[in-house]
Structure 1
């Protein structure tokens, strides 16, 4: 790490002061990085980030080296001894561990040896939690391995059915052995079914015959391991299951997956799904695509039926189009 990190008193800013003495003693490498710092975004996701500067071209980078995606907005400043080399505002951009933010300085007046500090200001309600986690990358690798081992062990527990105390009956009559404490911990709806005066308590069975067996298995895969095994095939129906069993994280996983599959041909269907099951990211992305491709979508044979069945969504779409 080259330099020192300082968090502002109101925790909305952090300053990375570059260790320029190190430059003259050792000749800094082509890329230098700060220590990591932890951030809380507007959705209460916690990320582990770091700042970096590359030599050629002169560029500043904001990386997320944690496992959770975060969405940040604010301002970045890159300063030499007196003038500000770069000052740029950015609005609510998603940062993942494979999608950093980058700003390039398009000038030959400055190089890495002339940079004194970088200041990052976050828009409320985002804030910095702490700084100086020198082994963040190592911690991430260790945490990832532990999470993987835990998922594997719980998947084995589900598959083998050891110590099970409740059964789920599927549409074709297949019985899946499960564990009340895990089901209850993952879904408030299942917890209520297994805790109160429901027939499931006395019978030791839960009937889920309104979902296909493979969907139930994928739902249980999410409950036990945190990820459905066949998301590609079951994302739409699992979005419904996430709504029914009050699993917001499952709905978010399905929503993000469906966003990647958005096209002009399916956007009306996905817009309706996002609205029906209150998956706001999917709904927002679908509305944006509708606005962007309004002419083509209006000519789709499915448009009239969609407009008749979803008048409120049509109002939202036209409102968004008006403000384009």
Structure 2
């Protein structure tokens, strides 16, 4: 099985390619695309992903970010190049929109399936290629010769960038936390570290037109930790903030930050928080955290089945419970 996600040249469409037999019970019941950023008619920015549920033949457009968005467009499901399902929509997306495909339109064969999302102007999809382009631009053709020098300079660079952050010298943008504290930052660094922030500046979002970014959903300590990661590569207070920083990593498309948080949360796993961490691992695609959580559930199945929280979680998260029971069956 292989999957791919491509953005159209005009940034108004995205195509998710799935190459598998969706009737094969040996493949996962649920396929998830990579996340992608969208901008709606009101310049609200959202983080979305596509979901295909094999057993029920349902397509879901999920909003996994913190901002609520209103999108206008069309969803298509194609077998190879033949469109077998189309639905137009203009909806406020709090969590998701779901469509069911008529299974009579799909025969039981392995092949290439396409899920196409087309947005109507002024909605658009934000290009995610900034980091790739930047890294290609700064690539040193003599990297082997300069590797040792770079290794020696890295600690000083991290220290200097941290100093630049906390002294606020030469700053050209301000970030305001939910409790009103203003933190002076540097636009170039923000853009290089986050495709989302780069898109906000490049497209003149209303949030940054005044030279300020208001993060109404993160308090000062979390924003400081987020900036610590942006400037130095590591949050300072991961122990206290990992659960919400993983959400920030999703919001600003910082995959490495999500991985740091996911690995840290594995160390904090207990019977009391395992359900919460299982949900986090699934939502933010941190497979190590998800698998560690499932393993703990399997090991403590007898105790957990008596817990009312487990029953409530099972009702609200049936797909994750199927995975948990499957893991238990193979114990």
TM-score of the two chains, using structure 1 as the length reference = 0.55
Mapped to 1, the partners of 2:208 and 2:280 lie a distance apart of: 33
Q: Deviations over 1:215-252 (max 9, x none)?
A: 00100000000000000000000011111111100000
What residue is the counterpart of 2:189 in the other structure?
A: 182
Alignment of 1:138-217 (within 5 A): 145-217=152-224
Q: State the match for 2:281 in structure 1.
A: 274
Give the CA deviation at 1:280. 1.4
Give the paired residue count. 186
Structure ID, larger Rg: 1
2:256 aligns with one of 249, 256, 261: 249
Distance 2:218 2:212 in 1: 16
Provide Cα deviations, 1:97-144, integer angstroms capped at 9, x if missing partner. xxxxxxxxxxxxxxxxxxxxxxxxxxxxxxxxxxxxxxxxxx999765
Q: Among 298, 302, 307, which residue is 1:300 paired with?
A: 307
SS at match of 2:174: strand
Query: How far, CA to CA, are the matches of 2:148 and 2:225 in structure 1?
Result: 27
- Secondary structure in structure 2 of the residue aligned to 1:203: coil
Q: 1:228 aligns with which of 227, 235, 248?
A: 235
Inter-partner Cα distance in structure 2 for 1:321 and 1:217: 41
**CA 1:178–1:306 in 2, change beyond 3 Å: closer, same or farther?**
same
Runs of 4+ in 1 over 3 A off after TM superposition: 139-145
Which runs of no fewer than 5 residues in structure 2 stay unpaired?
Answer: 1-145
- Please give the TM-score of this superposition, normalised by the length of structure 2: 0.54
Question: What is the rounded CA distance, in whole Å, between the counterparts of 1:220 and 1:239 in structure 2?
Answer: 14
How far apart are 1:297 and its partner, in Å?
A: 1.7
How far apart are residue 202 of structure 1 and its match? 2.6
Distance (whole Å) between structure 2 residues aligned to residue 141 and residue 215 of structure 1? 34
Pick closer, same or farther for the CA change 1:140–1:264 going to 2, 3 Å. Answer: farther
